[in-house]
Amino acid sequence: MNLRPYSAAELFQWLTEKEDFLLLDVRNNVEFDRFKVEGPYPIHMANVPYMEFIEFEEESVAKVPRADKVRIVCAKEGSAKYVGEILVKNGYRDVAYLEAGIKSWGNYLAPARVSGTDGYELHQFRRPGKASCSYALVSGNEMMVFDPAKNISAYQMFAHERGCAVTKTFETHRQADYISGSPQLAASTGAQIIGNENDFHGAAFEYKAVQDNEIFNFSNGGPEIKALHMPGHTPGSTSYLIDNRYLVTGDTVFILSIGRPDLGGKAEEWSKLLYKTLKSKIDVLDDDLIILPGHYIEWGEANSEQMFIDTLGSIKRKNANIYGIQKEADFVQFIVENIRKQPDEYAEIRKVNAGLLKVDDEDQEIMDLGKNECAASMYANK
């Protein structure tokens, strides 16, 4: 069989349907260690850098386990193709390379329907390369999005397929770990950007400054969206309550752990804000509320339908070590003890997300690649 390309969408399907294949990553060890493909099930994965094939072809081929299907990953596609040709020459039968390389995996968005009754549709866009989630809410011929990634064509196509116009793009906060798609989406669709002034003051694009408890509606009525100011992860962090049933929490509530309040360099001050948010804003919410988080740490957080949603009550039980803290000082101590370094690129991503730093597409890809580091504790319950 000849060497052929495969797409990030195919890779996602194989990973979530538990297909049997060898994932051969030919990037160098440094890049491989920084960021690898993840999925809901264990992956049969090997890392043999392409430079080893260039220097020691025979020995490198011998390092590749004999598998019926070999799926190669590299940075951009060229090296995977190069190694693929060597493998085909050496008798591997079913070999394919990832189109456009790891960055296409990093940008890939997989929508899944959270709710499709009551006159509206709510979808979670999982981004397996970042371990992040964004959302689309559709009612009538309008679509509103929450925390879009920079791969905006995915949302635009989604809206187009439903005959919708994108009318609003909500930001839960100014992201540090990925480049927001809101400015681009607003520029190409005319959608209004909504964000809290504490995070977006001085931004180089137009946005509507959202107020605590402010209500947004669709033009046909549709589900009501209520903004709830929840400072902590950032001073402007805002959750959006949809139809009194779903809460888009950004980086405030996760299924495991909570959003780290130290990224702004004011760990103690922002920890106190977050503690107040937990006690005065989150504890008062209904336990049946369905939480739609901005990130996950690991695939184990997904439900049986491979979606990252859970009720608030269940989340509080899973994170009793956090929600059970009854003193501000203990909470600050918990945060400080769990602080770990933030990736170097976060400071620049924050500037890009306020429109204050312009970088070309190639640099955006580099900055935007890799898993998030937004949870206060990597493994809160382990």
* Window contacting other proteins (CB under 8 A); options: 71-79, 160-168, 302-310, 370-378: 71-79
Q: Does 29 bind other proteins (CB under 8 A)?
A: yes
**Smallest distance from other proteins to CB 231, Å:** 37
- Residue 279 has what DSSP assignment? I
Q: Which amino acid is it at 97?
A: Y
Instruction: List the Cα angle 41/31/153 in 5-degree steps.
Output: 70
Per DSSP bridges, beta strands 215-218 and 165-170 are: unpaired
Q: Which range of residues in 72-80, 127-135, 176-184, 190-198 is near other proteins by CB under 8 A?
A: 72-80
Of the listed 74, 133, 164, 374, which one is catalytic? 74
DSSP per-residue letters across 46-106: EE--HHHHHH-HHHHHHHS---SEEEEE-SSSHHHHHHHHHHHHTT--EEEEETT-HHHHH
By CB under 8 A, residue 62 contacts other proteins = no
- For residue 317, the minimal CB distance to other proteins (Å) is 43
Q: How far apart are CA 77 and CA 103, in angstroms?
A: 10
Binding to other proteins, residues 256-295 (CB under 8 A):
none
Q: Rounded to the nearest whole angstrom, what is the least distance from the CB of residue 32 to other proteins in the complex?
A: 10
213 lies in the binding site for other proteins (CB under 8 A): no
What spatial distance separates the first Cα and last Cα of the chain, rounded to whole Å? 46
CB-based contacts of 306: which residues, under 8 Å, 6+ apart? 16, 40, 112, 126, 299
CB of 371 to other proteins, least distance (A): 17
Binding flag, residue 35, other proteins (CB under 8 A) = no
In the complex, the smallest distance separating the C-beta of residue 264 from other proteins, rounded to whole angstroms, is 28
Contact 134, 148 (CB under 8 A): yes
Among the residue ranges 69-77, 164-172, 222-230, 296-304, the one whose residues contact other proteins (CB under 8 A) = 69-77
Contact 328, 336 (CB under 8 A): no
Contact between 55 and other proteins per CB under 8 A: yes
CB 369, min distance to other proteins, A: 11
Q: Is 74 a catalytic residue?
A: yes
d(CA 3, CA 61): 16
Chain residues 327-366 in contact with other proteins, contact rule CB under 8 A: 362, 366
> Which among 8-16, 27-35, 92-100, 203-211 is the span making contact with other proteins, rule CB under 8 A?
27-35
Binding mask 74-113 for other proteins (x = CB under 8 A): xxx-xx--x-------------------------------
Dihedral sign of CA atoms 234, 374, 315, 105 in order: positive
- Residues annotated as catalytic (active site), given as ranges: 74
Using CB under 8 A, list all residues that contact other proteins.
28-31, 49-52, 54-56, 74-76, 78-79, 82, 362, 366
